[in-house]
Structure formats: C-alpha cells, structure tokens
Amino acid sequence: MLDARQSHILSLLRRQGPLSRQQLHQAMKLRPNTVGQLVDGLIRAGLLCEGPPQPDGPGRPRVPLEIDPQRRQVVGLALQPGRVGLATFNLHGLRVGATRSSAAKPATIIDTAASLLRSVHLEPVVAIGVSSTGLVDERTHQLLLSSTTARVEPVSLQPLFDIAGSCPLILENDLQALAVQWLLTHEAEANDDILLISIRDGAVGAAVLVNGRPIRGCVTGGNELGHTRLPVQTPTCYCGHTGCLERICSSEFLHMQHNGDSNITLADAIERYRGDDGDLQQVIHLLGIGIGNAITLLRPRRVVLASEFNRCTAYTNALLEAIRRHMLSTLVERVRIDLWDRQSVEFADAAAWLALASIYNRLGADRV
C-alpha cells in the first residue's frame, strides 16, 4: 500500500493533469529531493510515467508526470444476490475489457467469487476491491448479514483474501463502494455532508459521506436504511423480519396488493406511472416516510438518490414530494436533493472504484 505522500501525488495528478517534479514540489511544500524520491518510487511501481519534455523558458525542459494508464490495473469484485460480477479498470478509471459475471446460488456465492478472482492475472493488479450487500466486517473477513448468502450467521470471505495473497484487498459494503465511486467521479461536489441512497427493486441502502469520506458505523455497511421497519405487512426479509423498507420497495410487495394475481414488476409499474396507480402510490408514500425520517435524523446538507428509476419523471416527482412531506419542515429548503441515474453502472464497477480510492487515499473512513 502507498504512504500518504505518494497517494497525495497521485491525487494531484488525477485532479490537475500532468505536473512536473518542480510543480509537485511547489504544491506539496516538500523538498525537491523528497519529491524526486517519491516520484521515482511511483514510476518503478508502474503507477506513474513521464511524458515528452516540454520547453518551459530558459534551462532544462519541463518533464510532465502523469498516471500511467497501461502498466497497472485494479479489479472490482461484487457479490450481489444471485450473481457475482468482476470488472478490471486502469488507473484512470476506465474499464479494461468487458465486465464478467456468473450466476450463483446463496450457498455457492463465495466459491463462485473465488473462481472468478482466480481467473485474473494478478501481476499488473495493484489493488482489489470486493463489495457485498449487507453488513461486512473487514477485520474478520466475514459477511455478517447479507442477502447474497440469505443467512444471518457470519460467512467467511477468507478464500478471496487467500487468492489475493500480497495484493491489497479492500472489503466494503456495496453502498460504501457506490459512495466512493460517487466521491471520485464528483470530486468538485464532494465537500458537503451527503446522504447517498440507492433504490432498486428489493434493495434499498444508504451511505453517509462527511468531508469527502464515507462513514462506516460500527461495521462496514452500518447505514442500513433498507432495514428500517414500518408497520406494514410485506414478504419476509432475509434479515428475518417483515416491514423492511427494501421489501416494501419490491415487485413482491406490489404482487401482495393484488393477492398474487399480478405479474407486473416494480420497474414496469414505475415506467407506466402517471399518478393514478394506488399500489405504487403506497410504495412511494412509504419510501417517502423512510427517507424523510432518515434525512430528519441525519440532517445532511445534501441527499443523492441513486437509481435507474430516476429516468421516470412522474415517479421521481411523486417520490421527491413524498420525501419532503415527511421531512422536518425546517429542513425542506435547506437540504438539496439530487438525482443520480445509475442505470448503466454495474456494482462490479463500484467495487473497482473502491480499489482506486485506496490508491488515492479516499478510504480513511471514520468509525463510531
């Protein structure tokens, strides 16, 4: 793993583009010899490369340094209910090759993930990001509670660490990974305290970002908004309870409203929604209660709703109205709510950004 000064150099080059050693010396307030040693180490490690010399007035031409897009890579491995995805990125955050995925039953999800990771040539890989739904303990390398395994007892992820060997493996909850991706792709907007909420069919989760870093809680994934329970009869959640917000936001809950007679999915209902669907209106109303209460409790300056459903204007407007209706009234004008349409983003991509964040020193998450 890199030390803080090396990560600082990489972050400066990522944000500002190619810089010379002299420019890095001026920006970092370090001695030129120290900057030279740090840069030389990063070049040898395959993280930096030198561009062609550029004339810069009298004297020797300036040699720009930039993040090397060729020699090193990161890998993202995402464990999701029913499937495992794997993506490879270069250090500029660009995907290398196609994302691979394999279907997996809850009992075989770890073996499937291990098989995918084992197929990767690790020599050029500088870090591996692994994400999973639910509660993740990166200290003991366990899933404590996850929809991927459908079990409430801990499940070991040690096989993945064994395959990684000396290559750093960064383990986080999938919403923490998503939050890191948002931070690195919205760098100029990341200074506010932010509540990031992901809404999918049967999956609602959140991450809290403070001063450009995710807040984990007592274990990674401490912000389990989806398991906020409301006094509503729903299908039983994998956590063993009914009334969980992510069971409310599901196709199964819609089917219950029709006594199981309807085959319509939540995505279909949202796409067709024009304000006159009472069953979907109930889902929106209950989502508004859960999210509005979370905003009232946390009082973030900004909320980011990440969902493929954001492209459906009628639904989005109704949800925003429901959220604001259930927030503390004095916060309505103070809290900014933004939409992030993630319909083309894979969770394996977010896991790869997790690995990138470790390089750029954006994972100093606090604990409470």
d(CA 160, CA 123): 16
Q: In what order do the strands lie in the sheet with 83-90?
A: 100-103, 83-90, 73-80, 125-132, 169-173
Question: For the residues of 36-47, what is the DSSP string, one character each?
Answer: HHHHHHHHHTTS
pLDDT in tens, 47-59: 999 988 887 767 6
Q: pLDDT confidence of 368, banded at 50, 70, 90? A: very low
pLDDT in tens, 158-188: 999 999 999 999 999 999 899 888 888 887 6
pLDDT in tens, 207-253: 998 887 788 778 777 678 999 999 999 999 988 899 999 999 999 99
Contact present, 219 and 136 (Cβ < 8 Å)? yes
Of all residues in the chain, the percent with pLDDT exceeding 70 is 94
8-state DSSP, 59:
S
pLDDT in tens, 330-356: 999 999 999 998 655 578 999 999 999
Q: Residue 160 is inside which H or E element, if any?
A: helix 158-164
Contact present, 164 and 117 (Cβ < 8 Å)? yes
Q: Residue 306 is inside which H or E element, if any?
A: strand 302-306
Q: Write the single-letter amino acid at 88.
A: T
Tokens of 314: 């009628």
d(CA 77, CA 113): 7
Domains of the chain: 4-67 (1.10.10.10), 73-180+347-359 (3.30.420.40), 189-340 (3.30.420.40)
Task: Give Cβ neighbours of residue 47 (< 8 Å, ≥ 6 apart).
Answer: 10, 67, 68, 71, 72, 91, 126, 359
Of all residues in the chain, the percent with pLDDT exceeding 90 is 70
Tell me phi and psi for residue 40, to 5 degrees: -60, -40
d(CA 80, CA 26): 45
